[in-house]
Amino acid sequence: MAVPIAVLDCDLLLYGRGHRTLDRFKLEDVTDEYLLSTYGFPRQFIYYLVDLLGASLSRPTQRSRAISPETQILAALGFYTSGSFQTRMGDAIGISQASMSRCVANVTEALVERASQFIHFPEDEAAVQSLKDDFYGLAGMPGVLGVVDCTHVAIKAPNAEDLSYVNRKGLHSLNCLMVCDARGVLLSAETHWPGSLPNCTVLQQAALMNQFETELHKDGWLLGDSSFFLRTWLMTPLHIPETPAEYRYNMAHSATHNVIERTFRTIRSRFRCLDGSKGTLQYSPEKSSHIILACCVLHNISLEHGLDVWSSPATGHMEQPEEYEQMESMDSEACRVRQELLLTHFS
């Protein structure tokens, strides 16, 4: 009977019975350097996440209630920032692979629930003007409310709808549509689109387009590259610039749009589970989408706390830019808006 009793006790320690809390790993027992190198974030940031997510991670209906919110957050951060297998990271904080999986799922869900709190466009007039001023300061492009682009994140081949997730490179991926401000803060993030969809199709079906079409942002626009159609609220570069004004416009557009490329590199550098160097995300498209969005939320929170890694050297696999066929716009009003912008600010 000794062996069965030991097994039962292990299960009790691992999962609890609604009143035990396991503190396998305590923040106060390790150095700041260890936390930063292992989990990617400093102590005070982790304490902030515990305060932010603690209530969600202590739900009495969750099987993993015995594992403290602090431990769950460390487990998830370790996975997000290292991209290592869950077993290895679980061993570091003393929990099983099954518990590690639940911790990542719980923290991911809690962060996704708060996505709209941390990822959104500014609403008050002063904040919108500040947004435009910041962009104008980069390269003299006026009226910019954000820069938009897509990036692919590799996932394992799903069981169903397999071909819809195969991208132009023949890999399974999610095509993620994002908008950021001049500092790299994400203003919109849609992470669930199948990798087979081209960027212009993703935007056409996205909530982002509906937001700009219906709210009629007449006093500004997004900047997008040549993989998107020109619209009254989305300025794209000229396919073949001919005049000095057109060259100046394209140069200002490129220098400003580069912000989102830097943002993508930052996110991949900080959250190595997304950069492809450790392999694909081993989850369903839906769960992979949630993990990407959770990392986006953490990206914004980290910038809010002054944790800017743009100056850090890029490491790991970086997605190579794709070449797209120039999307010609049939929107005469959009062409007029861009031409007016050229005449007013770049002539």
pLDDT, position 159: 78
Q: Note whether 64 and 56 are within 8 A (CB).
A: no
pLDDT, position 82: 85
pLDDT, position 30: 80
For 239, other C-beta atoms within 10 Å of its C-beta total: 11
β 234-235/144-154 pair status: unpaired
The candidate with the shortest Cα–Cα distance to 208, out of 196, 191, 195, is 191
- 26 belongs to a structural domain: no
CA atoms 332, 251, 219, 345: torsion sign: negative
What is the chain's Cα-based Rg?
Answer: 23
Structural domain harbouring 230? 120-310+325-346
Residue 150 is inside which H or E element, if any? Answer: strand 144-154
Q: Are 153 and 230 within one domain?
A: yes
pLDDT, position 21: 41
Q: Are 247 and 143 within one domain?
A: yes
Q: Are 108 and 139 within one domain?
A: no
What's the average pLDDT block by block, 10 residues per block, for the chain (347 residues)?
39 38 64 85 94 87 67 92 69 76 94 97 93 96 97 89 87 96 97 96 95 79 96 94 95 97 94 84 94 98 84 45 54 91 93
Q: Are 149 and 128 within one domain?
A: yes
- 165 belongs to a structural domain: yes
Q: Are 204 and 221 within one domain?
A: yes
Question: What 3-state DSSP class applies to 193?
Answer: strand
- Cα distance from N-terminal residue to C-terminal residue, the chain: 88
Q: Are 159 and 214 within one domain?
A: yes
Q: Are 191 and 306 within one domain?
A: yes
Total domains in the chain come to: 2
pLDDT, position 277: 73
pLDDT, position 3: 42
- 50 belongs to a structural domain: yes
- 147 belongs to a structural domain: yes
Q: Are 89 and 131 within one domain?
A: no
Residue 113 φ then ψ, to 5°: -60, -25
Q: Are 163 and 241 within one domain?
A: yes
- 18 belongs to a structural domain: no
Q: Note whether 225 and 147 are within 8 A (CB).
A: no
Q: Are 255 and 167 within one domain?
A: yes
- 304 belongs to a structural domain: yes
Q: Are 203 and 126 within one domain?
A: yes
pLDDT, position 95: 76
CB under 8 Å to 205, separation ≥6 — which residues?
Answer: 193, 197
pLDDT, position 216: 58
Q: Are 190 and 46 within one domain?
A: no
pLDDT, position 325: 52
Please state the pTM of the whole predicted model. Answer: 0.86
For 317, how many CA atoms within 13 A lie in the half-sphere containing its CB? 14
